[in-house]
Chain A
Amino acid sequence: GAVVSQHPSWVICKSGTSVKIECRSLDFQATTMFWYRQFPKQSLMLMATSNEGSKATYEQGVEKDKFLINHASLTLSTLTVTSAHPEDSSFYICSASNFLLGYTFGSGTRLTVV
């Protein structure tokens, strides 16, 4: 089946620094990737949708200048949390999809900002 690799699985960073999370589809071309955020004991909320080669579409309330999404190739999307603050501490999970082949979730990244 389709495999999506997400790295890192966890990261601790200092407040004010930036963190990059990678989402790679290993055995299929992901025309679309989705980024979700999950705060502790809450549900997964869609942050943004990215299509290869175009700008991401952000959900209402998600700061596009803070959460930079790049989908430069059909196998890689990155989410960069810029100037991270403790309130950005969360579980971030990506989903890679191909209309013909299906979709798969990454294993998630637990971000802790101290």
Chain B
Amino acid sequence: AQKVTQAQTEISVVEKEDVTLDCVYETRDTTYYLFWYKQPPSGELVFLIRRNSFDEQNEISGRYSWNFQKSTSSFNFTITASQVVDSAVYFCALSEAWTTDSWGKFQFGAGTQVVVTP
């Protein structure tokens, strides 16, 4: 069975500080995708990144960076120089099935609330 653990319930930082969100996953599949989504108070899910299980390269996109380590089953997310607009709930998610019926089916972590204060 698949499982995604986000142990941090809430992280509070002052603007311009860096913040790292942890994500640990469990899956029996060798092929799977990992995701990060941002959920602002309005509720919609904002896609941040998708990473497949065969690509362990770290990725940087502006102030966001991701560290994927298969050896520890972790896919951590760092926001550099945080801003107030980064305040939101961030979800890590796993999609492991590769059938046509399951494409797009997600297992979400519990989410981490990030609070950035000026």
Taking Cβ atoms with an 8 Å cutoff, the residues of A that contact B are 31-32, 34, 36, 42-46, 49, 51, 91, 93, 95-99, 102-103, 105, 107-108, 110
Q: Closest A-chain residue to B10, C-beta based?
A: A41
Asked if A46 meets B101 with Cβ closer than 8 Å, knowing A107-B43, A108-B43, A110-B43, the reply is no
Where chain B touches its partner, the secondary structure class is loop
Is B103 part of the contact surface with A, judged by Cβ < 8 Å? yes
Total chain B interface residues with beta-carbon distance under 8 A:
16
Taking Cβ atoms with an 8 Å cutoff, the residues of B that contact A are 43-45, 91, 100-111
Bound CA–CA A40/B108 (angstroms):
15
Chain B residues with CB under 8 Å of A110's CB are: 43
Residue of A32, A36, A44 touching B103 (CB-CB under 8 A): A32
Asked if A46 meets B105 with Cβ closer than 8 Å, knowing A107-B43, A107-B44, the reply is yes
Report whether A99 and B103 are in contact in the complex, using a CB–CB cutoff of 8 Å: yes
Asked if A32 meets B109 with Cβ closer than 8 Å, knowing A105-B45, A107-B43, A110-B43, the reply is no
